[in-house]
Structure 1
C-alpha cells in the first residue's frame, strides 16, 4: 500500500514521513509533495491508498485537491490537517467523506490510532471489492469458516485424525483435500517494553506477513495468535520449492519488522505435512523455541533441528548475591547479575527450564532476605512484583535479568527504609491519623510490609506504649474534639473513630475519659 503526504511546509512532510514506522501498517511507499499540482501528478501515476493533506496551501487548497480526486474516480482514505479549528473546515471534511480531521501538531500516538482504524477500513474495502466479484455473502461466510477451521486444527479442537478432518472439510465446503500438503510457521517475539500493544502487534504482524506471502506467490490460509507474543501462520505447499520460498518469506519478515521492533524476533518453519499433522508440528516448533531462548533473531527450520541441547544449568552465586543485597551494594550486585546472565548465554542454548530454575533460586533468596529483615514476604512480593515482566521472564533471558534487578532494587530500598526507625514510626503515626476509622495492626503490617509481631515490638520500643493503646488514644482524642467542636451525632462520631457499635464506643469512651460521650459533650 502507498501513502501520499501533501503540505506546503517541507518540514511537516519530512516529519510525518518519519513520525511512524509506516511498514508496520503495510505501507511500503511514502510520497511527499508541497503543492496540489504535484499531488495530482503523483495520484495520476501511482495507486495511492492513503492521503494526508494540509488544508491551507498557496494556490489551491486541500479541499480542491479532494474535489479533483473525486472527479477522477479515485478513493484514497484521507486525513485532513489544519492549524485552525474551523467549523466550516469540519463541515467540508464530512462532505468529502474524510476519514479524519486533525489539528496540528499531530501527536504520534493520535496518528497511530487513526491509521490503525484507517488501514482496517482500507483492507475491509478491498475485501468487499473482491467479494463483489465472487458473490458477497457466500465468500464472506467462507472466510469466517476457513478461519475457524484452521484455529480448530492448530488448537486440536476435535480434529485429530483424517476422518474428522475430511468430514469437516465436506460439511464446510472448504477448498481442501485430505491429501493436500501444508506447512506451519511460528513467529515468536521477545518482549519489548517500549509501547507495542498486543493489538497493534497482532494487527501489524498479520498485515506484513500476508503482504510478503502474496508477493511471493504463496497463499496464507490461516493466521492466529498462539500464546503470548506468538503467532502461527499456515500456508499451502504444492511442491518443495514453495517451502523454501516460505523460508525466505519469514526471513524477509524478520528483516522488515526488526527495523521497528526493538527486541528479538524468532521464526520457525515446519516440514510439509498433511492437515491432521499440523498441530503436532506446531507444538514441536514451540518446543524448539523454548529450548533456544537466547538464539539471535532469524529463522530455524524444523528439518534442520538436531535436537534439544542438554541442560547445563549453573546456579547463581546465591551466598554472594545475598551478602550484596543485605549490605546494599547495588552497583556490585547489578554487575554480578549481568555477568551471570552474560555467561549463561555464552555457554550454550538457554531453555525455558533453565530460566524457571533461576526464578526458583531467586525466589528462595528474596524470601530469605525479606524474612531476615522482618519484611512480610507475601505482601511485599505480591505488591512489588511486575506480573507482566514475570510472565515474560520465562521466555526471555533479558526479561529474567530485568525482573531480578528490579526486585533487588526494591528489596534494598525496603531494607534501607527499615533501618530508619524514626521515619517508620513517623509514617505509621501519620497513617493511623489518616485511617482512624478503619486502621488495624494487620492493615499497618500490610501497608508497611512489616511482620505483625515485629511491628508491635518496634512500636512499643520507640513510643513507650503498645500499638493498640496508641490507636485507642488517638481515637478518643478525635472523639473528644468532635464532641466539643461539631454537631455530629454520637453514632456518627463513633463511626468516624472506628467504632461501628454505639454501645461499644460509649463503653470505651467512659472507660478512657471517665464519663459518657453525652456527659462530655454537655461540658461545652
Structure 2
C-alpha cells in the first residue's frame, strides 16, 4: 500500500480528486492534502510520502520549487504534476527535476490512475533493487570468501582469463595491477582441552586479532578457514613496497606473542610471496607444504620467499639398541637418546614431516616386537583414549612425538614388569574370574585381553604357575560357588546354574556330578538347609 499527498491551492480540485479516486483499487492506504509548499513540507516532516500529486503555480512557492526540495530531502518520493499550464517550458523543467508524469487539468480519471499505476510500479522496482543492494552489502564478504574457496579448491581454474570472468560474474571487481599476498596461520596445539564449540570460539578470536594486527598492513584482506585450526589471510595491495614483507613479519611475531598469551595455544605464521590472482593457488600450496613440514618449531614466523628444499640423507637411529634397552626396562635412556637425536636434527635443519613419520613407524615396530616377545598384546595395551590421541598427534611435531614415545615406553615397561611378577598376573586373572563367574561366555581370550597377554601365552603361564589349566580352574570355581549356593540357600537349582554361568541345566548337572560325584539335588539333600534343619530336630 502507498501514501499519497495532493498539493493544490484550489480546494475544489483536491475535493474532486478525492471524490473520483478509488483509494482501494489504486492501493492508497493514506491520503494527505496541502494547499501550499509550506504545508506540504510540514506533512513530509511527519509522514513518509510515496507519491506526490502536485500543481505547479501556487502561492508561497511553486510546484517546481517544491519538487526541488523533495528531490533533495526525500528522493524516494515519486512526483506527478497536475496543472492547467501546457507550457513546454514548465514540462521541460518538470522532467529535468525528475517528475514522473505531467498531466493537464482537467485530467481524466483513467489518466490519473495510469499515472499512479506507473508510480507504484517504479516504487516497487526501486524497493526490490534496494533490497538486493542490502543483501549484497550484507553478503558481500561471504561472496568473496566463496570466490576464494572456489579458486583454492580449483573449482575455478587458475587461469588469468577464467578467473577474471568468474570474478565479473559475481560482481567482484579487481584491477589487473592488484596483487595479493597469502599468509597462513596454523594452530599447532591448544594448551587445554577444548570442545568443538570452544575451539570455534577461539578461532573466531584468532581471526579478530589477525584483522587488527595483520590485515591492517595491507589495503584490505580476506580471512578464510581452510581447515580445522588453519586460517588463510589473503592480503590485497594497491601498491607493494620493498619493506612490506619485513613489516608483515614483525606484525606476525607480535600476533603470535599475543595469541600465546591470551588464547592458550601454540601457532605458526607462514608468509607467502606477492602475486597476481592467478598465482595465488600455487603460493598457498607452498605455504601448506611449509606448514606440513614444520615438525620442529613452535610459535615462529616462516617466509616462503627464498625457501628452497634440498634433499638430505638422514641416518635413522639403531632400533636394535633401543629394543635392547626396552627389554631391560631402561626407559629414561631411550627417551634421552630419542630427544637428543631429534634435537640434533632440529639444529641442523634436517627434520621434515616424512622423516618424523619414518621415525614414528620404526619406533612403533620396535615397541610391538619387544611386547610380542613378552606375550603382551600391544594393540590391546594401547587402545585407551589417551594412547590413541597421542598416537594420532605423534607425527605433527617433535614435541608430540616425544610425548607419544614417553607414554608408549612407560606403559610398555609397566606392563612388562607386571607380567614378570607372576603372582600379580595370576591374581588379576583369578579376581576377574571371580567377578564374572555368572558370565556363561567367559573365555580364555577375554581373560588374556584383561591382562594384555596372548591367549596361548596366558594358558601356558597360568598352568605353569598354578598347576591347573584355566578351563579346569574356571570349572572348579563355578562348582565351588554352586556348592555354597546349594548348601546355604533355598535358591532353585535352575537359578543356581544360571548364577554360576551355566545356561543349560543338563550341562550344569553333568559338570557338577563330574566334579563332586553326585548331582546337585543329592548334594543339597546331604548338605543343604533342609538337612541341617532335620539334623537340629534330632
- The alignment's TM-score, normalised by the length of structure 2, stands at 0.64
* Contact 2:215-2:235 within 8 A present in 1 as well: no
Q: What pairs with 1:114-513 in structure 2 (closer than 5 Å)? A: 137-157=135-155, 159-161=157-159, 165-166=163-164, 168-176=166-174, 180-195=178-193, 198-213=199-214, 215-216=216-217, 218-227=219-228, 229-241=229-241, 244=245, 246-260=248-262, 264-295=266-297, 297-305=299-307, 307-383=308-384, 386-436=387-437, 437=439, 438-486=441-489, 490-513=493-516
State the distance in 2 between where 1:160 and 1:485 align.
Answer: 85
Q: 1:216 to 1:346 in 2, by over 3 A?
A: closer
1:426-485 per-residue CA deviation (whole Å, 9 max, x = no partner) reads: 111001111221421111111211111110011111111100111122222223334454
- How far 1:326 moved relative to its partner? 1.7
Unaligned runs of 5+ in 2: 1-129, 530-538
State the distance in 1 between where 2:161 and 2:218 align.
Answer: 31
Unaligned runs of 5+ in 1: 1-131
State the structure with more CA Rg. Answer: 2
Q: 1:231 to 1:314 in 2, by over 3 A?
A: farther
Q: 1:482 to 1:188 in 2, by over 3 A?
A: same
How big is the alpha-carbon RMSD for the aligned residues of Structure 1 and Structure 2?
3.2
User: Which secondary structure does the structure 1 equivalent of 2:459 belong to?
Assistant: helix
User: Which secondary structure does the structure 2 equivalent of 1:186 belong to?
Assistant: strand
Q: 1:521 to 1:152 in 2, by over 3 A?
A: farther
- How far 1:295 moved relative to its partner? 4.1
- How far 1:376 moved relative to its partner? 1.4
Q: 1:495 to 1:338 in 2, by over 3 A?
A: same
Task: Using CA pairs under 8 Å that are at least 6 residues apart, name the structure with larger relative contact order, 1 or 2.
Answer: 1
State the distance in 2 between where 1:432 and 1:278 align.
Answer: 65
* Contact 2:207-2:223 within 8 A present in 1 as well: no
1:292-325 per-residue CA deviation (whole Å, 9 max, x = no partner) reads: 43246432222221x1132332322323322222
User: Which secondary structure does the structure 1 equivalent of 2:238 belong to?
Assistant: coil
- How far 1:211 moved relative to its partner? 2.0
1:406-442 per-residue CA deviation (whole Å, 9 max, x = no partner) reads: 2111111111111110111111100111122142111
State the distance in 2 between where 1:223 and 1:406 align.
Answer: 36
